[in-house]
Amino acid sequence: MRAALALLLWCAALLVGAQPITLRYAVTDGADSLGVVEGIVKEFEAKNPNIKIKIEPIVDSYAQKLMAMYAASISPDVARMAPQDYQPMAARGVLLPLNDFLRNDPSVKLADYYPNIVRFFTYEDKLYSLPREVAPTGLIYYNKRLFDEAKVPYPSPDWSWGYEPRPAEGAKDFTWMIGALSRKDAKGRTFQYGYSSAWPQLMLETLMLSRGLKLWDSNEKPTKMMATEPDVIDLVTFASDVVNKHKWAPSQTELTSANTSQRDLFIQGKLAMYQSGPWEILKFRREMKGPNAEWDVVPFPAYVGSVNRTKGEGSGTSIFATTRYPKEAWEFVKFMSGPPGMIAMARAGLNQPAIRSLATQPGIWLPAADATGDAAKPKGIAVTDRAAASMVIDLVPEYFRPIANLCQGKSYDVLTGVNPPVKTMEDLQRTASRDLANQIRRQETSPYPTNIALVLGALITIGIIAWVYLPERGVKFTTAAKKENRSAYLFLIPWMFGLAFTLGPMLYSLFLSLAESDMIKPPKWVGLRNYTDAFMLDDSVAISLRQTFVYAIFSIPLGLISALALSLLLNQKVKGIPLYRALFYMPSLASGVAMSLIWMRVFNPDSGLLNHMIYNTWPLSTTGFGDWLSYMAGKPGEPVNWLANVKTVIPAFVIMGMWGAGGGTVIFLAGLQGISTSYYEAATIDGANVWRKFRNVTLPLLTPTIFFSLITGIIGALQVFTQAVVMTDGGPDRATLFMVVYLYRQAFQSLQMGYASALAWILFTIILVITVIQLQASKRWVYYEGDIK
Amino acid sequence: MAKSEPLSISAEYHRAGRRGILQQRIANASVGLALVLGSILFMLPLYVMVAMSLKSKEEIALTSPWSWPITLTFENYRLLFIDRNFAFWLKFFNTLVLSVIPTLGVTLTAAMVAYPFARLNFRGRDRLFVILLSTMMLPGVVTMIPGYVLMAKLHWIDTFLPFIVPAFFGGGAFNIFLLRQFLKGIPREMDEAAKLDGASHARIFWQMLIPNSGPALATIAVFTFIGSFRDFMGPLMMLNDPNKQTLEVALRSLQNARGTEWHLLMAGSVLVMIPMVIIFLACQRYFVRGITLTGGK
């Protein structure tokens, strides 16, 4: 008997032991690379039957979702990690250091990896991510045909750059080449550019690095901004001139509004030299065809007389500290960030391996010896090894990240020519120095008084209930009224339950607004400091409030009137009216991303539809309206660059908003149906005309709907967000840095959730005050037929 | 007596007799013209979307976005349908579930909650109403993570529950407010009479008010359906398993670090839009059913 039981237990133990465990693996991969990752995972599962891997692709807001998951204690076990994402997590103990595994596992030798990528992933002497790929961004791809046509020799690997072109140096001078390879039409407009980096800041950052300059004093412990040093100003002016004065490189705003990219220009043969990372090679092999089929790659030039220093990126695989299966997770990390994963990704042309011997062995990342045609390109691919070995990354302490972000933003402004470079740098010096002082001061905090917060929370809740209930306590009710009171609350039950889902998080954010918090470490008490900072120190708050109100003041009445007018039009009894209604509503249904991309084309200064109608189409073109518009926009004689001009970007947003009038129209249409036909009959008998009927019947009976549209319109307009993030990213020069855009940045880019919450509650208070005033005023102009008279 | 059309310009002149025939024609023509011109203007961005979805990748790179495709191709649509990661039908089904059920919940419970706010007297009504409105006023950015943590504590992450359950709890301030406005506009005579006959509030709600709020209910149903169908941030945060994901999130994966797949993105956007247009057309019938309570029809 006992033996049988033991046997049974043993069997059970065996069953439990054989049960495969599942690791959740978060990746950013989308359409093009997910298949390869799945292949690697399958291979791993075949070799490790006791481990299953569940891939969780996160196609957007990657760091943000990982943060939310961690806050909710449901992090994945393993995740793909980029250097800029891992550091805040490592600093907060979210990730497991890998050093113990490495010490006990001789199969992984860190010495095999590129030393700089290992250094990127090392935080306070511990490694937090095993590198899988290196991505040096100091690579310059060039189109040989454009060089041949301009009779410019191909770049020599030991070339350099200086502030002045040196034609005598020929193949060794980058600056001369950019100019010589740019071509302009009769109007002085560039149709072929000499050089561009894949994104604007990359150019400036690479130039700074190779010149040995920084915007701040030290990477280890920045305490001082150096944005106005003469050397920095010289360099920034040079970079700005390349784009804005000589027009040798395309500006980002031009490209965005033309819905093209630096990469597309290069593929189409309109750009001679393109600076980017190794991930481009796959696409170029596929898409550089016909006249552009001859291309190659060289490393970014060094500054005259100095060594080669360029930027780089990469990615690795990290383990979350919360995993229940660290051993199994390590097995998977070793596989994904070891030869099997690297070889698969490299053969697919996606990643340059982080293990140097794999990156330099033909047939993996380098083309096989017998490769022909496009697969054998580019001839100079071996320079990716040199570029990876010379890449540098600026790791700055946690408190400096918001300022580093600010510097990025200002670099962008310099290169898009929003303001003259000197002014931008002076502005940066001032703002960043103040922010830096704040950040250093913010380090001093005290622990959050959780108990007091709980008591306060309870008091607020009791206070709200008392505020709702007490004022009418003294009112005497009849029996019928008591019954009505009781039924009313019965009807409200579902909503009261639902309030927990909304009021709970709202209260939480109210408490957070009194704290310094990144949602990961326990919040630190700062009292009202977030609020005082917002009003006294941070000029972005005032600017974003002002811009939000400017937008609201134009968009609310326009939206209201156009929706009302449309609804009257669509209420006509005309053939095919259901179809017309659908046509007017359809722009509000389309995917936001696709619509934003299309609108950017509409607003393009040169080829956009809007400017075409204003400047080139009768009758508007004959009225001088375009000239007046250009004059008002501050650029006489130039077509208005709607989204890149501080003065026109909000009007552009308002115009775009009109296409969303369909939603409001539907509400007004429903309101019009609610008006009883008998009123119109009575009015007809009295001999009223269309206008009188509208004025005396329709409008008064529509006031409840107008009131609704007004209130929700105000709330919506003051929280305007999406377009500004997708289309202009808060720019130009903070013109679309609306309140919610700004607090979103504070929350998720600078990880200052406490400050973001304070900003949100400031906005909340403003909206609440406006709404309460509206509610009071509504008693005078809103007419409800159902009110007891 | 001629049947009255609410504020119809053409009907107006119709009654004016023979003298008005010319004016009636002019009025008709101007309404027609406004409708045609307006819809052309409104359809312009969508024209670009459809035109691009029917161009090959190469043609998009070379031609103006405003041009109609030189060679029409349905290849982009075919590619989306066979793409294993895009998995159109699976994601369409998920999206449909995540839209239909909340729509039912919202339409049902929003009316229920709106009723007392609109037509009953109870202690604290106006102040509760301010609280209701205030839930719309705090930017979602700062409540997102606490909300996420709450869902995780309930073990609702990676399930459809975060979308379904709250929909049955009144369906949000926007919808309640909209319905309250409509219910307040319905004349009192009938339900006052019913009250005198001893009808309960539940009966008045169900038998008098619901049948007369067709247009408003249809409006919030359409809004909720479309809002859920297009939701991006919600599914992106709450769902982990790609097989549970929705179309809008799948669409976003066509934009990545290696550039936007324009041809696929536009084709996908058109595909996502079609079901919403169908729903809108199907619900139109209910938009035009006005009050029958006191109407003279």
Say whether residue A769 is in contact with chain B using an 8 A CB cutoff: no
A597 contacts in chain B (CB < 8 Å): 260, 262, 265
What local confidence, expressed as pLDDT, does residue A633 receive? 81
Residue of A nearest to B261 (CA): A31
Q: Which pLDDT does position B2 carry in this prediction?
A: 38
pLDDT of residue A345: 92
User: Residue A640 has which token pair?
Assistant: 């208005």
Check A678 against B61: CB less than 8 A apart.
no
Please tell me the predicted confidence (pLDDT) of residue A788. 61
For A528-567, b where at least 16 C-beta lie within 10 A, e where not — what string? ebbbebbeeebebbebbbebbeebbebbbeebbebbbebb
Question: How much is the pLDDT for B99?
Answer: 94
User: What residues of A are in contact with residue B141 (Cβ under 8 Å)?
Assistant: 740, 743-744, 747-748, 756, 760
CA–CA gap between residue A643 and residue A641 (Å, rounded): 6
B130 with A771: Cβ contact below 8 A: yes
Tell me, yes or no, if B154 comes closer than 8 A to chain A by beta carbon.
Answer: no
- As annotated, the residues of chain B forming the CATH 1.10.3720.10 domain(s) are 81-287
Write down the pLDDT at residue B287.
Answer: 66
- CA nearest A271: which of A207, A359, A203? A203
On the CB side of A677, CA atoms within 13 Å amount to 15
User: What fold, for B81-287?
Assistant: MetI-like fold (1.10.3720)
Task: Read off the amino acid at residue A100.
Answer: D
Token pair belonging to B234:
């919600």
DSSP annotation of A113: B
Q: Judge residue A590's burial from the number of C-beta atoms within 10 Å of its C-beta, 0-12 exposed, 13-18 middle, 19 or more buried.
A: buried
Which residue ranges in chain A fall short of pLDDT 50?
A: none
Domains of chain A: 21-131+314-377 (3.40.190.10), 139-276+397-442 (3.40.190.10), 531-588+649-781 (1.10.3720.10)
CA A786 to chain B, closest CA, distance in angstroms equals 4
Dump pLDDT digits (tens) for A11-21.
555 555 557 89
Q: Which of residues 17-46 of A touch B (CB under 8 A)?
A: 24, 30-32, 34-35
Distant-in-sequence, close-in-space partners of A526: CB < 8 Å, separation ≥ 6 = A442, A445, A514, A515, A516, A754
Task: Give the end-to-end CA distance of chain A in Å, rounded to a whole number.
Answer: 87
Distance between CA atoms of residues B128 and A469, nearest Å: 9
Predicted confidence at residue A344, as pLDDT, reads 93
Instruction: Please say if the pLDDT value at position B12 is more than 60.
Output: no
Residue B38 CB coordination number (10 Å): 17
A693–B7 C-beta distance less than 8 A: yes
**What CA–CA distance (Å, rounded) separates A543 from A552?**
14
Q: Of A382, A235, A381, A392, whose CA–CA distance to A310 is shortest?
A: A392
Residue A742: which of A576, A567, A534 has the closest Cα? A534
- Using the structure block, give the residue that is written with the tokens 């504020």: B7
For the cut 80, the answer to whether the pLDDT of residue B285 exceeds it is no
Place of tokens 């919450």: A757
Q: Does B243 touch chain A (CB under 8 A)?
A: no
Give the pLDDT score at A613: 84
Q: Does A269 touch chain B (CB under 8 A)?
A: no
- Among A267, A598, A686, A710, most B C-beta atoms within 10 A, so best to mutate, is A598
For residue A31, give the nearest of B1, B253, B280 by CB distance. B253
Tell me whether A283 touches chain B (CB under 8 Å): yes
Q: How far is A623 from chain B (nearest CA, A)?
A: 21
Q: Tell how many helices (H) and how many strands (E) occur in chain B.
A: 16, 2
Amino acid A257: pLDDT: 61
- Asked if A661 and A563 count as a contact pair (C-beta separation under 8 A), the reply is yes
CB contact under 8 A, A72 and B157: yes
Chain B residues close to A564, C-beta within 8 Å: none
Cα gap A134→A137, rounded to integer Å: 10
Region for residue A302 given its phi and psi (left: phi exceeds 0; alpha: psi -120 to 50; beta: otherwise): beta
Q: CA of B288 to nearest chain A CA: how many angstroms apart?
A: 6
Tokens of B158: 């990676």
Bridge partners, A524 (sequence order): A447, A516
Q: Does A691 touch chain B (CB under 8 A)?
A: no
In this predicted structure, the answer to whether residue B291 has a pLDDT above a threshold of 50 is no
Interface contact B149-A72, CB threshold 8 A: yes
Distances (CA, A) of A660 to A285, A560, A673, B140: 42, 11, 21, 21
Kindly state whether B139 is in contact with chain A, defined as any CB-CB distance less than 8 angstroms.
yes
Query: Can you give the pLDDT at residue B4?
Result: 42
Supply the pLDDT for residue A447. 73
Average pLDDT score over residue span B2-25: 57
Rounded to a whole number of angstroms, the distance from the CA of B91 to the nearest CA of chain A is: 15
CA distance B187 to chain A (A): 4
In chain A, what residues touch B222 (CB-CB under 8 Å)? Answer: 666
Closest chain A C-alpha to B142 CA, distance in angstroms:
6
> How far, in Å, CA of A274 to CA of A590, rounded?
34
Q: What is the DSSP string of B230-255?
A: H--HHHHHH---GGG--HHHHHHTTE
Residue B294 banded pLDDT, cuts 50, 70, 90:
very low
pLDDT of residue A300: 92
**According to the model, what pLDDT value does residue B15 have?**
55
* Smallest Cα distance from B110 to chain A, Å: 8
> Is A187's Cβ below 8 Å from some Cβ in B?
no
* A349-363 tens-digit pLDDT: 888 999 999 999 888
Cβ atoms within 10 Å, residue A639: 20
Q: Point out the residue among B150, B170, B249 whose CB comes nearest to the CB of A498.
A: B170
Chain B neighbours among A 696-755 (CB < 8 Å)? 697-698, 701, 704-705, 707-708, 711-712, 715, 719, 721, 739-740, 743-744, 747-748, 753
